[in-house]
Structure 1
Amino acid sequence: MTITDIDADAATARAALAKTLVEAGDLTDPAWRAAFEEVPRHLFVPFFFDHDGTRIAGDDPQTRERWFAAVHEDRALVTHRTGGAATSSSSQPSLMAAMLEALDAADGMSVLEIGAGTGYSAGLLAHRLGDDRVVTIDVSPDITGPAAERLAVAGFQPLMVTGDGAAGWPDRAPYDRIIATCRLDNVPPALVAQLAETGFLLAPIGSALVRVYRTGPDTAEGRFLPGGAFFMPLRRDGGDGAPVRRPDLPTGTGRPSALPAAAVADNAFRFLVSIVEPGLTWQYDVDDARQITGARVWAADGSIAALQADGTVTETGPRRLWTALEDAFRAYAAAGSPGPERYGITVDRVGQRVWLDSPDGPSWNLSA
């Protein structure tokens, strides 16, 4: 592959990726399939960072082949690092396809995207709905500037806004759909207010997608969708979104843990954890069979816990973090190990809470 024949090769590679997504059941709408076949992802991801921090780029003869293959594979690609930590990425195409299909978009609808990122998702939306029906927003001109340039090169000009995604963009409201391509810890009230009467917000809250419908001027309700959805967190006020550095490990004698190591790898349980204790950072110990035997987990307030291979745990900090996870596990086990699809969310004047099975069921308040 050379620079001169990249466009033809990319078109072939995009068609192959779209076919893979269709065969996997991630892409069923012909309009979205056409978008994935025609919007050039390689223009939006001119480089990315490998797992060890190595820059893989299309303009580097040493890494060009790896770059080209990766941008046409079904994988997420880290596009920005801060202090060695991944802080922005181009999402996995299969997850993007699932989100776009869950958006249930139709001709003539208007969409606000929270989290412009590379601009690729905005390009897919603009291909499907038209430039004048799409607004995309991100917090930093370092993101929106290059994204707008790449969109223009690809032939798209949706409205690009630099600002706080949680505040939305009221100038173009109401929107038929609002889609967040970054993780939210709660439902921003401004986004609810900017929904059309029959519109909904589709967003990752915790580690799963939820559709949230407006039910009144400042109220909303929704249900989570099956499966997981792992995204970078929403960046606000210029924050870099880097993970919190690990506090000092707890010392002293451990106690028996009521939360088994196997549960740490259970994605259904981890969804509840992402609601009860959002924004945790984890490290794991694994055996030769890749089973988790121990873990360290910490929160932004300095609370930290360490699970040892012998099933004991130590914790320290301003609160007992592992104890909170044990309480969540007891509720999870008692409910029959529910997946995200059994949960819903209510937003009202009192606050926001995620509930299990029905609004009258067990519930957990979301942080403000």
Structure 2
Amino acid sequence: MTIDLTDQAAEARRALAQALTDTGDLTDPAWRRAFEEVPRHVFVPYFYAPDGERVSGADPATHERWFTAVHEDRSLVTHRTDGAATSSSSQPSLMATMLEALTVTDGMTVLEIGAGTGYNVALLCHRLGDINVTTIDISPDITDPARERLATAGYQPHVITGDGSLGVPDRAPYDRIIVTCGLTTVPPALLQQLTDDGFLLAPLGNALARIHPRGPGTATGRFLPGGAFFMPLRHAQGDGVPTRGPLLPTGHGRPSTLPADAIADNHFRFLAGIAVPGLTWQYDLGENGEITGARVWHPDGSIAQLHPDTTATETGFRPLWTALEDVHRTYLIADCPGPDRYGITIRPGEQCVWLDNPDGPTWVLTM
């Protein structure tokens, strides 16, 4: 049986848009209209709960949970590869922040890296018109459903299947490029596809960077305040898919100078993600929700564990927990800076994040 959600969904969208307005995440009337009118439920017909359960609008047993979730300010996992989450519908408040940070005007062209469900693409089409919007994602398992859902909702942007790090040069240049998946470095090809006065908005670490091209192979930018957590960019080779954690280190722990509560500090986690990129974290939570222990590992095989007794053990290619303690020491000396105190400089063959100014403390991003 098909349920007509037209009126109910419209009311739920208006409520979500009002909630985003009340929190200050949505301030532009044009973007508010987009959130009120673009049907998120069309783009998220189902999602996966944290335990892996498929919550679907077509299943009477989960319909109510599904409808409520897609109209809340929640990120929802929508695609899994070999059991791992590889695509999602982003949290609407973060989407609103990013869309407003684009500072678009009528007639501008936008390239989105990471089509996902197609919902963000639809919001862009609502604001700028289908002809001005291009999106790309790595797999037809993602782009084919996104294209169908866009058509159902009445939108026909250019949806491309391919490696997002290469962009879509055939339709360049773009006034704006928005990246909706996590980066460790900025793909040089994207900077080459911007207009002279355009910019790229992308998550680096756990924050957003607004990056302006300055010449062949060069660019500069600043980070915006607040956090921005995204799944990693996937390339044609298939990397970016999370893997199972390695075996934990054994043996006696040593006293740690990195307290457990620092792991919950998003400002510290931003710097940790820049200085030691590619980390995967797991946490232990106490009765009051506080972090009492953690495990962290790196693709190079290094792994560390913080125990409830505040000791740490580490093993692998490098002493990972020691590296994080060094980063935390720098963070404290700098008076616990937020992301908006950092900037980025890009030159041919080198990308650096710096604190306060280009002559300040600097971290070279691994290309």
Secondary structure in structure 1 of the residue aligned to 2:220: strand
In the TM superposition, 1:68-79 aligns within 5 A as 68-79=67-78
Contiguous gaps of at least 5 residues in structure 2: none
Q: Which amino acid aligns with 2:74?
A: R
- 2:46–2:78 CA contact under 8 A, matched in 1: yes
Determine the C-alpha separation between the residues in 2 that align with 1:343 and 1:361: 10
- 2:84–2:243 CA contact under 8 A, matched in 1: no
2:194 corresponds in structure 1 to 195
Give, in angstroms, the shift of residue 290 of structure 1.
1.4
Cα deviation per residue 1:254-289 (whole Å; 9 max; x = unaligned)?
Answer: 221121111111110000011112221111122212
Cα deviation per residue 1:142-186 (whole Å; 9 max; x = unaligned)?
Answer: 111110011011110000111110100111111100000111111
Q: Across the two proteins, how many residue pairs are aligned to each other?
A: 367
Q: Which amino acid aligns with 2:149?
A: R
Deviates more, 1:307-316 or 1:228-237: 307-316
1:122 corresponds in structure 2 to 121
Give, in angstroms, the shift of residue 241 of structure 1.
3.4
Give, in angstroms, the shift of residue 94 of structure 1.
0.6
- 1:181–1:231 CA contact under 8 A, matched in 2: yes
Determine the C-alpha separation between the residues in 2 that align with 1:290 and 1:38: 37
1:47 corresponds in structure 2 to 46
2:144 corresponds in structure 1 to 145
2:130 corresponds in structure 1 to 131
2:27 corresponds in structure 1 to 28
Give, in angstroms, the shift of residue 294 of structure 1.
1.3
Determine the C-alpha separation between the residues in 1 that align with 2:290 and 2:191: 41
TM-score (norm 1): 0.98
Aligned pair 1:300/2:311, yes or no? Answer: no
Secondary structure in structure 1 of the residue aligned to 2:117: coil
Give, in angstroms, the shift of residue 14 of structure 1.
0.7
Give, in angstroms, the shift of residue 244 of structure 1.
2.6
Cα deviation per residue 1:18-56 (whole Å; 9 max; x = unaligned)?
Answer: 111111111111110111111111110010011111111
Give, in angstroms, the shift of residue 100 of structure 1.
0.2
TM-score (norm 2): 0.98
Determine the C-alpha separation between the residues in 2 that align with 1:310 and 1:160: 51
Q: Which amino acid aligns with 2:341?
A: R
2:326 corresponds in structure 1 to 327
Deviates more, 1:144-153 or 1:277-286: 277-286
- 1:48–1:56 CA contact under 8 A, matched in 2: yes
Aligned pair 1:10/2:12, yes or no? Answer: no
Secondary structure in structure 1 of the residue aligned to 2:336: coil
Determine the C-alpha separation between the residues in 2 that align with 1:188 and 1:31: 30
2:172 corresponds in structure 1 to 173
Cα deviation per residue 1:96-134 (whole Å; 9 max; x = unaligned)?
Answer: 001000010110100000000000000000110001100
Secondary structure in structure 1 of the residue aligned to 2:4: helix
1:262 corresponds in structure 2 to 261
Aligned pair 1:155/2:150, yes or no? Answer: no
Residue identity over aligned pairs, in percent, reads 67
Determine the C-alpha separation between the residues in 2 that align with 1:176 and 1:54: 40
- 1:113–1:178 CA contact under 8 A, matched in 2: yes
2:100 corresponds in structure 1 to 101
Deviates more, 1:192-201 or 1:244-253: 244-253
What value does the CA root-mean-square deviation take over the aligned residues?
A: 1.1
